[in-house]
């Protein structure tokens, strides 16, 4: 019997999202003695605590991303984290790897299942413990990549790809990226002071030998008060007299995120909040040696799918892997470096970028901005991805034009 005509694409909504505080990778970082899977467990448990009206058995799947899927990030971490978090054994889970866009892909993959009707409610997120698993550790790239020149050697080092972007766009100077980085630090510090960051954080207790237990409630990487003069003196490790430094790029970090997604019907049935509605998403490939330009074609594709233009986007959450990557995106679309629509709460240069977890951080921040600013209808979360890709998700604000006064009106503002 043909039942395909009975299927209808369903609306997908972002119900809630949380994350651990992000830590600095390494022996001195807050998570040096904490397992990656335990960070995911904290996020899953917090989602369930914050949404008690959701019966755990109603969760249809758990998708968790990690770039380095070994050790405490291996063993099909979506399933193992679900079991460790105390979800019923009937709840399945799986693992995803799309490097930096891991959590974003966990969201889009499970959202597609919701839209198709295979799921009603899912948990999607990501984790990266770069202290335990440095990027590329244990990887064995096929020698054909080099021998057959399938990729440029620079493609295997993200810092080199950022320097290549500077070569391609000489108008993006080191002075300009340093200024952007300082603005990111300042915006994050302001958002933290205004109470916009802490509500999404899950406290994590950690143990350090000789120091005992500590409850971590704040991100470790931010450096408030950073100046352009501070950044000008930093070395450029990827190239002599280069332009990419530790000050205008995201650091090496540990952290986890998780989001609760549902069909609009299931959210209404269960009394779950609706923070955003998914409009569409797109992934795109680019030359691996300039992977940072990936968000440009991904965003153009997503806009075409949605029937929107860049002028329709009222808020941008762009992952700040490198300042040059963000600025190349802004230049392409004619958006000013200091446009108030862009990364209002600061970004990864300040707060950190634990690779596969970052996509949901972007979504958390966009959802909170939607709650604050009802003049904005559409926003995007976008990021570049190692080995030459980009990802963009377009979201709609469910609070758009509900009549609540807002402090700013930004949608459609021209750079």
User: Is 62 in contact with 91 (CB distance < 8 Å)?
Assistant: yes
Give the integer Cα–Cα distance in Å for 200 and 195: 10
Who contacts 289 (Cβ-Cβ below 8 Å, separation ≥6)?
151, 152, 154, 155, 160, 161, 164, 388
User: Is 194 in contact with 407 (CB distance < 8 Å)?
Assistant: no
Active-site residue list = 100, 353, 384
User: Is 406 in contact with 338 (CB distance < 8 Å)?
Assistant: no
Give the integer Cα–Cα distance in Å for 343 and 141: 34
């Amino acid at each position: 019997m043909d039942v395909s005509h009975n299927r209808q694409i369903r609306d997908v909504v972002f119900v809630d999202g949380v994350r651990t505080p992000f830590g600095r990778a390494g022996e001195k970082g807050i998570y040096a003695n904490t397992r990656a899977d335990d960070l995911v467990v904290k996020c899953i448990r917090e989602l369930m605590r914050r949404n008690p009206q959701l019966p755990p058995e109603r969760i249809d799947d758990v998708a968790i991303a990690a770039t380095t899927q070994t050790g405490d990030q291996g063993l099909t971490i979506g399933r193992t984290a679900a079991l460790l978090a105390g979800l019923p054994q009937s709840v399945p889970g799986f693992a995803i790897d799309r490097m930096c866009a891991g959590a974003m892909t966990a969201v889009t993959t499970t959202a597609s299942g919701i839209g198709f009707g295979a799921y009603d409610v899912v948990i999607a997120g990501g984790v990266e413990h770069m202290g335990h698993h440095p990027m590329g550790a244990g990887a064995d790239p096929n020698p054909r990549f080099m021998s057959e020149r399938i990729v440029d050697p620079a493609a295997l080092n993200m810092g080199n790809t950022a320097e290549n972007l500077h070569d391609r766009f000489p108008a993006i100077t080191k002075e300009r990226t340093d200024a952007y980085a300082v603005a990111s630090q300042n915006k994050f510090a302001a958002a933290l002071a205004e109470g916009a960051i802490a509500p999404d954080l899950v406290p994590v207790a950690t143990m350090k030998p000789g120091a005992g237990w500590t409850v971590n409630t704040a991100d470790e990487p931010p450096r408030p008060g950073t100046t352009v003069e501070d950044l000008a003196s930093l070395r450029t490790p990827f190239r002599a007299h280069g332009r990419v430094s530790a000050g205008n790029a995201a650091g090496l970090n540990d952290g986890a995120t998780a989001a609760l997604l549902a069909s609009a019907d299931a959210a209404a049935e269960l009394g779950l909040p609706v923070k955003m509605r998914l409009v569409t998403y797109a992934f795109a490939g680019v030359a691996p040696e300039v992977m940072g330009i990936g968000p440009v074609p991904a965003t153009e594709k997503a806009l075409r799918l949605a029937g929107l233009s860049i002028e329709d986007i009222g808020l941008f959450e762009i992952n700040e892997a490198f300042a040059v990557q963000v600025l190349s995106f802004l230049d392409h679309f004619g958006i000013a470096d200091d446009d108030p629509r862009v990364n209002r709460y600061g970004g990864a240069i300040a707060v950190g970028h634990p690779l596969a977890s970052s996509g949901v951080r972007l979504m958390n921040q966009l959802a909170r901005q939607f709650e604050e600013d009802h003049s904005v209808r559409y926003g995007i979360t976008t990021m570049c991805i190692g080995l030459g890709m980009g990802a963009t998700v377009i979201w709609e604000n469910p609070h758009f034009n509900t009549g609540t006064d807002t402090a700013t009106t930004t949608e459609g503002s021209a750079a």
